[in-house]
Amino acid sequence: MTYRLHSFNVSDRDLVKQFVKVPWPIYRDDPHWVPPLVKERLDLLSPKHPYFEHAKVKLWIAYKDDQAVGRISAQFDRLKSVSDNESIGYFGLFECIDDSQLALQLFTQAEQWLKNQDCDVVRGPFNLSINQESGLLVKGFDTPPYIMMGHAKPYYQTLLQEHGYTKAKDLYAWFNQSEFVDPPAMLRLAGRYQSRIVLRNVDKNHFDRDIRIMMNIFNDAWANNWGFIPFTENEFVHLGREMLQLIPADHFKIAELDNEPVAMVAGLPNFNQITKDLNGKLFPFGVFKLLWRLKFSRPTTGRVALLGIKQHYQNQLIGSALAFLLIKEIKQVAYATGVVEHEMSWVLEDNKRLNKILESLGAERYKTYRVYEKRLSTNKESQAN
């Protein structure tokens, strides 16, 4: 069967609203799917979002008769990862009924658009960037996603593999109780350096200063990691302002070593826990429910979402001490607010040091997100042949 596909840009707000709503019927029978807040999705796909200062995006909706049954995005980012020697294009926001022919149509459209941007490889899914929601869930379908993490249908990986996509990298999500026992070896290691390390909160009265400190630490820490694209200042400020509207400043920590900022961590209450029954709607009454819950019924789960240690310290014992102290500190803050379970995500599969630290803290690797890629035959190659 051939489906009707319609392409458009983020400036077409009526079609963007339709695009955002595509997942609802697909996940109707999935008890673990958490409907995203429509307003948040619309903000992400707004031309005013700072991501679009360095990237362009094309969107497609697939229709069967008048019913939307699939969607996909294609992204070309002018910022380049230092780990990539080729021109990389991206796909994301993929949702689809279980139909191989429909998936082929969606992938073909996205791939052709990326070929027209002279991309050599397509990689994804990213919604929309590696600094936002990354990877396709391939393990851990039996629990809901945490805040700013994705969910998927189990058959999605089959659709990707059927159409030539292969694994590029796995991203791990770790689960742990907040009241875990600190390993004696880590306590001894931290004790060795603790007199030189000061952990402090982000200061809302000096927001611009501290948000730049956190951005610089994060970009330095991740600069040589696979696929990493740096945050721009506008993106990081946008993200920081959004978070600090709802999350206390003590959930964002900066570590100073001998008075120099060298590491940071951000812990997020798992708002998915208290928004699921809103069905994506804040208006007219959802916003009042959310505000009431934020005040009187806060989430009992949380996510350690950002952790960065400057590269100079990463392969030293003091780097492990910094990571342990930041995780320990954010755990204590969250536990004091009623958070009893944590997800720490995501972590690259080959980040052996951090994966080992999390395992030593008793965490369980309970979800896996996979980034796929596919080589494209570019227009240049076609002309040469």
Residue-wise pLDDT for 57-67, tens only, equals: 999 999 999 89
pLDDT range class, residue 285, cuts 50, 70, 90:
confident
pLDDT, residue 385, reads: 41
- pLDDT average, residue stretch 289-298: 84
The two structure tokens encoding residue 30: 């999935």
With contact defined as beta carbons under 8 Å apart, do 7 and 60 qualify? yes
The two structure tokens encoding residue 97: 């009924």
- pLDDT average, residue stretch 86-102: 97
pLDDT range class, residue 379, cuts 50, 70, 90:
low
pLDDT, residue 41, reads: 96
Q: What is the pLDDT of residues 40-58, one digit of tens each?
A: 999 999 999 999 999 999 9
- pLDDT average, residue stretch 284-297: 81
Range 183-192, long-range pairs (CB < 8 A, 24+ positions): 183/360, 183/361, 185/360, 186/320, 186/321, 186/324, 186/357, 186/360, 186/361, 189/317, 189/320, 189/321, 189/324, 190/321, 190/324, 190/325, 190/328, 192/317, 192/321
Among 42-51, 177-186, 321-330, the minimum mean pLDDT is found in 177-186
Beta strands in 116-182 (DSSP E): 121-124, 126-127, 133-134, 136-139, 166-177
- pLDDT average, residue stretch 297-314: 94
* Strands 88-96 and 121-124, sheet pairing: parallel
Look over the chain and give the mean of its residue pLDDT values, rounded to a whole number.
93
Q: How many CB atoms lie within 10 A of CB 310?
A: 22
pLDDT range class, residue 381, cuts 50, 70, 90:
low
pLDDT range class, residue 127, cuts 50, 70, 90:
very high
- pLDDT average, residue stretch 317-326: 94
Angle between helices 184-193 and 352-360 (to 10 degrees): 120
pLDDT, residue 331, reads: 87
With contact defined as beta carbons under 8 Å apart, do 19 and 71 qualify? yes
The dihedral region occupied by 318, where left means phi > 0, alpha psi between -120 and 50, and beta the remainder, is alpha
Residue with tokens 């619309």: 42
Using a pLDDT cut of 70, give the percent of the chain over it: 98
Among 40-44, 133-137, 146-150, 377-381, the minimum mean pLDDT is found in 377-381
With contact defined as beta carbons under 8 Å apart, do 90 and 117 qualify? no
Of 65, 67, 68, 46, which Cα lies nearest the Cα of 57?
46
Please list, in sequence order, all residues whose beta carbon lies within 8 angstroms of the beta carbon of residue 381, skipping any fewer than 6 positions away.
none
The two structure tokens encoding residue 295: 């005040």
Domains of the chain (ranges plus CATH)?
4-173+370-384 (3.40.630.30), 176-368 (3.40.630.30)
Using a pLDDT cut of 90, give the percent of the chain over it: 81
Residue with tokens 């979800």: 367
CA angle (375 as vertex; 373, 378 as ends), nearest 5: 140
pTM of the predicted protein model: 0.94
Q: What is the pLDDT of residues 273-283, one digit of tens each?
A: 999 999 999 88
With contact defined as beta carbons under 8 Å apart, do 26 and 96 qualify? yes
pLDDT range class, residue 384, cuts 50, 70, 90:
very low
Of 110, 81, 76, which Cα lies nearest the Cα of 5?
110
